[in-house]
Amino acid sequence: MKERPILFSRPMVRALLDGSKTQTRRVVKPQPDTAHDGEPYWFIGGYRVWGYRPAPAVPLRAGGNPLPCPYGQRGDRLWVRESFAHMYRDNAQPEKRAPEDVAYMADNLTPDPYVYGSWKPSIHMPRWASRITLEVTNVRVERLQDISEADAMAEGSPPSHPSIDRISREFGYADFPRSWYAQLWDQINGAGAWAANPWVWVVEFRRLT
C-alpha cells in the first residue's frame, strides 16, 4: 500500500466532506501515442494495439512502455491537499504544529491573519495538516466526455432537475449532472478543456478520514 498527495479545489473538498464525491478525473499525461489513423495506441496483454480499447488497457508513454497511474492502484491511499492556514503557537516550527491548529478555506472561515497568517495554496499543505484520507477502490481510463450521469453525480454534481435542462442542452446533454461537470471541468482546467475531450484517469475511492 502506497500513499500519495492529491489536490482538490474548495468545492470538491466540500463534496468529499459531505460524501457526495467518490470519484475524480485527472488528465492522462502524456496522452496516449497516436497511431496512423488518429486513434491512440494501448498496451494490452504485452502487445501494442490501436483503434479500440478492450479492458483491461492502460495508456502508453513514448517508447511503448505502459504508463502507470500516478494516483496509485486499488488499495493505495490519497491524502488530500487543500488551501489552508495554520496557527502560530509560540513561534513553533511546522513539525511541532498540530492538526487542530489548522484552518481550511473550504470551511468558509475568515481566520485572524495575526493568529493564522495568510492562506496558503493547497500545493504547500504538509501531510500532518491534511484532514482527509481516501482509499483507492478502482482505477480506469476513459475519454472525458464518456462520463455517465451516475459518474457525474459521483464527481459531486447535484442531481438533475427540470428547471436547469436548458443549461444541460447547451453542453449537448439531456441531464444536468454531466453539463454541470462539463462547466466545472472548464472552470478548473480552462476554457476549451472539456471540448478537447482528453483521455483521463478515473479514480474511484472511499473516504477513510
In words, the CATH class of domain 3-28+67-78+132-207 is alpha beta
Per residue in 127-142, pLDDT tens? 999 999 999 999 888 8
pTM here?
0.82
Domain assignments of the chain as residue spans, ordered by start: 3-28+67-78+132-207, 83-124
Q: What is the residue-wise DSSP string for 154-175? A: HBTPPPP-GGGHHHHHHTT-SS
Distance between CA atoms of 158 and 180, rounded to whole angstroms? 8
pLDDT (tens digit per residue) in 5-48: 999 999 999 999 999 999 999 998 877 666 555 555 555 444 45
Name the residue type at position 130. Answer: S
Of 20, 22, 24, whose CA–CA distance to 189 is shortest? 24
Q: Tell me if 207 sits within 8 A of 132, measured CB to CB.
A: yes
